[in-house]
Amino acid sequence: MQYNRPFTQLLTFVFFITFSSLSVQTMAQEESKPLYSPKAFTTQHEGNFGGKKISYSAVGKETFLKNAKGESIGSLWSVAYTKTGNIDPAKRPVTFVFNGGPGSASMWLHMGFFGPKVVRVDSDAREDDGGAPYLVEENKEGLLDITDLVFIDPIGTGYSQLIGKGKGEDFWGLNPDASSVAQFMRRWVTENNRWMSPKYIAGESFGTTRAAAVSQALEGNGQNMALNGLILISQALDYQGSTSIDDNITSYITYLPSMATTAWYHKKAGAGKTIEAFAQEAREFAYNDYVSALYKGDFISDSEKEAIADKLSYFTGLDKVFIKRANNRVLMGRFKKELLRDKGLAIGTLDGRYYGDEPDDTADSPRLGDPSGYKVSAAYTAALNHYFTNDLQIKMNRPYITSGGLSSWDWGSGGEPMYVKTSRRLANAMRRNDKMKVLVASGYYDLITPFFDAEFTFSRNAIPMERVTFTYYEGGHMMYNHRPSFSQLAKDIRAFIEGN
């Protein structure tokens, strides 16, 4: 981890899947671009989803977004799958889908889980994706039988780009990003006659941060559009609980259960216990003994320090001597390097099941990158490009940018060192719309947005908990890379939509 960055840049770094760089693109995008005619590609398909044969249209297109003066400033790329035939809009839901970053295209949820076809990587997180070809197959557990799907690539990702007089500041910030996505959603709903349709948002990682902000943004601009539900995959609504840095006491608490379940997976802790039981044991320790010790700091006695170190070693599988050197505060970066140090391996950030053989076995944290990212990204990228070209007949004159860094992201804090937080926006939206429900899906081995942080965040921000459902999976940030978790997530989302 690079902790020498300004705080707001650090938050961007922590939540960003670093698979590629957008620096060249963003520099070019800051210059004024001439307008052109937006492109659209429409194809017809059939597939089997949820045990039903479905005929559907696929439309990949550019939508020009406008500023307050009515000038086109951004071209947003989307791919929409809509069931064909005699459809009653009031009974057919539509789900808007995006990933996170900021700076990540919707490729991961598109080709990993929600799309009509999905790429398959090693479910057990042992093998690298290697070189092409890769396995892409029909998503028979997909949800097209119960909902239409619209995949959104925010400006600067996928094929989306600045146009005309558009500038990065028009889109690259927490608030303008939410406004632009809300503008697109209203446009799509209007153009497709779907105002009476039940509406959902499915977001992942920063996409959940965005989802909460969008749910509130949709209330404004004279076109109030209420949502039926949010599907939050690997939620990130309050970054304090998912930013592992020195002196952030909250993060030591929220990360501990994920350290425990990951140690359990690698057979370093929790022998003879189920993952659910061990996770609950870690929760109870974190909420009780550990939180008290952290806040007391060096005022606790030597015997208390010893007892806490013993318990941390028990839960994390790390050597007690190491834990005591860390003053009972193990940063996530060090945990990822230390857990399998005896094997010369470092574990993943997005998914602690993955591991990589790094060149420097003496480092205190991983240096090569995230193995749960670099072991799957080539397969995802190739699969999407192949699918777009051959199945959807999409022909664009620029590359599809999957993930990268946008130039100067504005977190909306006025430059103050504050943690990013949209949980209160969600609470407000849910209290204004007392029918909106939320599904929170978390992976036990997610070491960037820990599952305990989801519980910690939702329990203390005035969110109506009776309308929130928590689900857990033996996978990581992208739990759908684990086949059993893919199937269970599909069942849980299906039940969530059908039950509303």
Cβ–Cβ contacts within 10 Å for residue 400, how many? 18
pLDDT digits (tens, 9 = 90+) for 73-94: 999 999 999 999 999 999 999 9
Helix (H) or strand (E) holding 56: strand 52-66
Q: What percent of the chain has pLDDT above 90?
A: 86
Domain final residue pick, 344, 371, 398 = 371
| Closest to 444 in 3D by CA, of 230, 231, 205, 234 | 234
Report the pLDDT averaged over residues 39-64: 97
Is 127 found in the same domain as 20? yes
Is 235 found in the same domain as 336? no
**Mean confidence (pLDDT) of the chain:** 92
| Residue 67, pLDDT score | 94
Q: What is the CATH number of the domain that holds 208?
A: 3.40.50.1820
| Residue 440, pLDDT score | 98
Is 462 found in the same domain as 444? yes
Confidence of residue 32 (pLDDT cuts 50, 70, 90): low
Domain count for the chain: 2
Start-to-end CA span in the chain (Å): 41
User: Does residue 2 form part of some domain?
Assistant: no
Is 151 found in the same domain as 130? yes
**How is 178-196 classified by DSSP, letter by letter?**
HHHHHHHHHHHHHHTT-TT
pLDDT digits (tens, 9 = 90+) for 388-402: 999 999 999 999 999
Is 229 found in the same domain as 89? yes
* Poorest-pLDDT segment among 294-308, 394-408, 457-471: 394-408
Are 440 and 453 contacting, i.e. CB atoms less than 8 angstroms apart? no
C-alpha 31/C-alpha 164 separation (Å) is 9
| Residue 96, pLDDT score | 98
> 65 forms bridges with which residues in the sheet?
74
Confidence of residue 403 (pLDDT cuts 50, 70, 90): confident
Residue 467 burial by CB count (10 A; 0-12/13-18/19+): exposed, middle or buried? middle
Q: 450 vs 222, which has greater pLDDT?
A: 450
* Poorest-pLDDT segment among 16-20, 34-38, 251-255, 270-274: 16-20
Are 441 and 429 contacting, i.e. CB atoms less than 8 angstroms apart? no
Is 424 found in the same domain as 351? no
pLDDT at 12 over 50: no
| Residue 284, pLDDT score | 98
> Is residue 486 helix, strand or coil?
helix
- Full domain range(s) for residue 294: 244-371
pLDDT digits (tens, 9 = 90+) for 417-465: 679 999 999 999 999 999 999 999 999 999 999 999 999 999 999 999 9
Domain final residue pick, 371, 389, 415 = 371
Length of the chain, in residues? 500
Domain final residue pick, 307, 338, 371 = 371
Report the pLDDT averaged over residues 9-24: 38
Is 491 found in the same domain as 342? no
